[in-house]
Amino acid sequence: MWRIGVQRSIIVYSNSRTLVTASKNVDISGIFPPIVTPFDTDENIRYDYLEENIRRWNSIPFKGYAVHGSNGEFAYLSKDERVEILKHVKKFATDDKVIIAGSGCESTRDTIQLSNEMASAGADALLVITPCFYKSGMSNPALLQHYTKVADNSPVPIILYSVPANTGIDLSVEVICKLAEHPNIIGVKESGGDVAKIGLMVHKTKQHDFSVLAGSGGFFLSARIIAPNAAVTRMFNVPGLKKSMEWFGYYGGPTRSPLQPLTSDQEKLVKASFTENGFL
């Protein structure tokens, strides 16, 4: 990840013209593991396992945690569940951890509402994924308007989230650079994997307090983890991640339907990629 420390006092206007003042000191340099949501076999959230995982992660010098990224299966959670999980993460994490929470919804209105709820629940910054259901309508002007309104109405800083493999929307460098000028937008999580694009974003936003975060291990720390990252992220995604967590003593557990667990053959493929590269 590229480091930018953010220290600013911002004034944000809501749609109701109520003045909201936020003074944040948020440094998002470092590593933020995108944590999974632990379910039991009935697909209920297991907060005890969440606590167990986080207490182990607390001993590792992570900068903080990313809650409700793609690996958290946020698309299969209700808004109330998303807020409640964040509250528990905040409770279990040590005080030095920076908590980034996904608050993106399909509509701008819902994203603003959830962003405010997430901020009240303890999020230090918010990760806002691109809306994608009406993909053909997600033009550059539409995305600029969406993120600007969300940032205008959020009491904590916003991080843009581009993950085209899941959304089909590749947030353009043009839009990202324009949004980097906003005083309440502090970075982008780029999960597209285009290293040239990442470099261009870094170059074009260097005059702003703006961070570019690598959204996948394959282009963040690629030297040793290309094969395991490909097996987990590209081939089998969350089911592969949850299974691999169990090999290292964490609780992965089931996914929420309609995601399916790995077959025995798929599990062998993932395990082989870890074994052959010296991780198991």
Determine if the peptide bond prior to 258 is cis (ω within 30°): yes
Rg, Å, the chain Cα set: 18
For residue 211, list its beta bridge partners.
187
Catalytic annotation on 189? yes
Q: What is the full DSSP assignment across 47-80?
A: HHHHHHHHHHHTTS--SEEEESSGGGTGGGS-HH
- Taking the C-alpha atoms of residue 87 and residue 63, their distance in angstroms, rounded to an integer, is 18
Both tokens assigned to 250: 């964490």
C-beta separation of 83 from 124 below 8 A: no
- Taking the C-alpha atoms of residue 151 and residue 179, their distance in angstroms, rounded to an integer, is 9
126 Ramachandran zone, left/alpha/beta (phi>0; psi -120 to 50) = beta
Which residue of the set 90, 97, 189, 197 is catalytic? 189
Q: How far, in Å, are 102, 158, 184, 228, 238 from residue 70 at the CA level? A: 9, 17, 23, 18, 8
- Taking the C-alpha atoms of residue 35 and residue 73, their distance in angstroms, rounded to an integer, is 10
Task: Using alpha carbons only, give the angle 212, 215, 218 rounded to the nearest 5 degrees.
Answer: 115
For residue 274, list its beta bridge partners.
none
Both tokens assigned to 256: 């929420």
Residues labelled catalytic = 189
